[in-house]
Amino acid sequence: MKRAFPILAVVTLALLGYSAYEALVVAPTDRLQGDVYRIIYYHVPSAWTMFTFFAINFVASVIYLIRRNLKADAVAVAAAEMGVVFNTVVLVTGPLWARPVWGIWWTWDIRLTSTLVLWLIYVSYLLLRRFSSGGQMPLLAATLAVFGALDMPLVYFSIWFFRTQHPQPVVGGGGSIDPRMLHIWLLNWFAFECFGLLVFWWRYRLEMMRREVEETQELESLLETRSPR
């Protein structure tokens, strides 16, 4: 993977560039919204990618709670960080689209509010990991991650079951979309997933290296305290 990483990085950057060109230049202009609609090529794929990483975090956290597997804990940390990054993109691009279309930056409907709550939960998760210490910290963090995952179905299904300001889904929700737009939409999603997974793998390796360094330092300190003087 180390040797393949530079190649994969170049391919991913090329894919991101190509998908951006398709979204900003090639995609047809929406008849009602104009060019501002192009934000959806970043907003929606970011949301789907966010779900991917929060789902990985959930599975890894459950594995840690059951088996106390340290690699699973490292996976959970890396996935949570990537999920928060893409969740932030969702929360930024949403209001950028809403202001010219709705006339407001934000409204407290259930889709938007539950997405913000999801962000707050996982930011709290990362803060707990960053500023807490002790043997129980990974256990508490994994429990919080499982709790946070309960909000994901609410975020996803809210526009099906509740009356919201947020637009109804056009993919899988009975709506319609120009095939060219759908193609570019999926292309951007694929590009975001590739980018996210690449950074996720790099972050996971850094996390494992950090833990190995900490274990080595603890072992050296223990040997120093036990060595005769």
Long-range Cβ pairs for the range 14-17 (8 Å, 24+): 15/190, 15/191, 15/194, 15/195, 16/191, 16/195
Half-sphere exposure of 69 (CA within 13 A, CB side): 12
**pLDDT tens for residues 25-81?**
998 888 888 888 899 999 999 999 999 999 999 999 999 999 999 999 999 999 999
pLDDT tens figures, 78-110 = 999 999 999 999 999 999 988 888 888 888 888
Longest distance between any two alpha carbons in the chain, whole Å = 81
Measure the N-to-C terminal CA separation of the chain; round to a whole number of Å: 45
C-alpha to C-alpha distance for 185 and 195, rounded to whole angstroms: 15
* Nearest in space to 167 (alpha carbons), one of 105, 90, 102, 108: 102
